[in-house]
Amino acid sequence: MATKIHMEALSPTMEEGQLVQWLKSEGDEISTGDIVAEIETDKATMELVARGDGILRKIFLSAGGTAEVGAVIAVIAGGDEDISGIQGTTGGTVSPAPPPDTQAQTPPVPPAEVPPPPAHENLAVVDGKIPPMPGRVKASPLARRLAEEMGVDLANVQGSGPGGRVVKRDIEAAIASNDSAEEAASWTLEESEYEDVPTSQMRKTIAKRLVTSIGPVPTFYLTVDVDMERVIQAKSSINTMLEPKGMKISINDVVLKAVAAALRRHPNCNAQWHEGFVRRFNAVHLGVAVAVDDGLITPVIKNAHSKGIARIGSEVRELAGRAREKRLQPDEYTGATFSVSNLGMFGIQEFTAIINPPEAAILAVGGIEDAPVVMSGEIVMRPRMRITMSCDHRVIDGAQGARFLQTLKSMLEEPTTILV
C-alpha cells in the first residue's frame, strides 16, 4: 500500500515548511524511520523521517519549495503499484531544461564582417588637434586615473565637461552611492538597484508573532540603572577559579542567573497570558534571544533557577551554537516563561524588546559604560548598565514590575546573594 509523505508539523507553531533538500532520490529503497529530507521550519532545520517501507516513487516538492503542514510532498510505494491517483504539492527549484535537439537547430548565422577602424594617421586634423579614435571615451587624465582606481567603466559615464569630456566630478558622481572605495570598485551598471530576498520560514513567523504582540498586547516599559562594579569583580574571580577547568562565564550569564533568582521571588512576572486565565510558573524557564543569519530565535534554559552560573553559561553557548546551525530540537526553543534579550555586545546602551506571547514580559539588557555618579558626596566614574522590562499589563501591574526590577537591581549590585 502506498505511503504518502506529508509536510509534517515539526515545531509547535509551524504552519508551513520549506524543503531544504531531499536526502533520498526517486527509485531509492526506503524503510520506516529513514531520514528522507531536511525541512526548514519557523525555528530550525529539522529532519523528516519516512513512515513506511517501499520505493520512493515520486517526489512532488523540489528543494526550495514551500508547502503547508499536511500537504503531500512525495510517495513511497511498491515498484509496480499504481500511484497515478495521488496528487501532491509541487514547487521549488525548477529542473534544468534538457539540451535542445541539435538536429532541429537552425544553423547559426555567421556574424557580418565589421570593417576595421580607420588608421590613426587617416583621421582628420581639426584646429591642429587630432580627434579621439572611434570608441575612445574623452576624459581628463585625472578622471581616467580615478576611474581606474575605483573600477569605473568610462564607457558607462556621461561626461559633463567641454564636448562631453568626462571629468573628475563625473567619476565621483558615478560612485557617490557607494559607501566605500571597495564597494565602488565592484560596482557596475549591470547590477540591479535592489535585491528581493525570499522570506525564510523563521522570518515569516517572526513577522506574524510581532504583529500579534504589538497589536493586542497592552505593553508598558520600566527601566532601571544598575551599578555593575561588583558583577565585574565577581566575574573576574569566578573565571580565575574556572580557568583550570577550561571554563569561563560572561556578564550575561550572571544577569541570567540574577533574573532567574528574582523571578522566583516575583512569580507574578514569571507568567503567561491565556484567554480566561493567567498561568504563573514556579519553575523559571528562560528564553535567551540569539541572533541567527535570517532572524532571531530564543533557546530556552529549562529550570534556570536551579542551575549555577557556570552551567547556565555553558548551556547558553551550546544552545546558541546549534541555533545558528539551525539544529535545535523543538523542546529546546519552546516553553519559556520569561525572555531576556542582550544587545550590549553591539554597543547598544538602551532599547525596548517586544514581548513574545504568551509570555508576559521580556527584559532588554544594554551595554555597560562608565558614567559619573555621586557617592559619599563625591562624583566618581562607575560602570553602569540599563535594563528595560517590557510588561503585558493584562498580567503585570506597574508596581509589580517595579518590585521585580528592584530585586534584580539589588542582586546585581550585590551578586553574592545569588552565588551562595
Pairing of strands 45-49, 29-30: unpaired
- The reply to whether 266 belongs to the active site is no
Of 222, 288, 281, 283, which is closest to residue 253 (Cα–Cα)?
288
User: Which amino acid would we find at residue 155?
Assistant: A
Of 36, 39, 50, which is closest to residue 11 (Cα–Cα)?
39
Of 175, 139, 172, which is closest to residue 154 (Cα–Cα)?
139
Of 272, 261, 278, 232, which is closest to residue 385 (Cα–Cα)?
232
- The reply to whether 397 belongs to the active site is yes
- Where is 220: in which H helix or E strand? strand 219-227
CA separation (Å) from 275 to 17, 90, 182, 281, 401? 28, 38, 55, 17, 21
**C-alpha span between 55 and 393 (Å, rounded):** 56
With H, G, I as helix, E, B as strand and everything else as coil, classify residue 286.
strand
- Please measure the distance between the N-terminal and C-terminal CA atoms of the chain and give it in whole angstroms: 62
CB 163 within 8 A of CB 138: yes
Q: State the catalytic residue, choosing from 225, 331, 370, 397.
A: 397
Of 156, 150, 119, which is closest to residue 134 (Cα–Cα)?
119
In the numeric block, the cell 540569539 is attached to: 290
Q: State the catalytic residue, choosing from 28, 53, 294, 393.
A: 393
Task: Label residue 413 left, alpha or beta by phi (over 0 means left) and psi (-120 to 50 means alpha).
Answer: alpha
Cell digits of residue 116: 576595421
**C-alpha span between 365 and 386 (Å, rounded):** 6
Cell digits of residue 67: 508547502
Task: Label residue 317 left, alpha or beta by phi (over 0 means left) and psi (-120 to 50 means alpha).
Answer: alpha
User: Catalytic amino acids?
Assistant: 393, 397
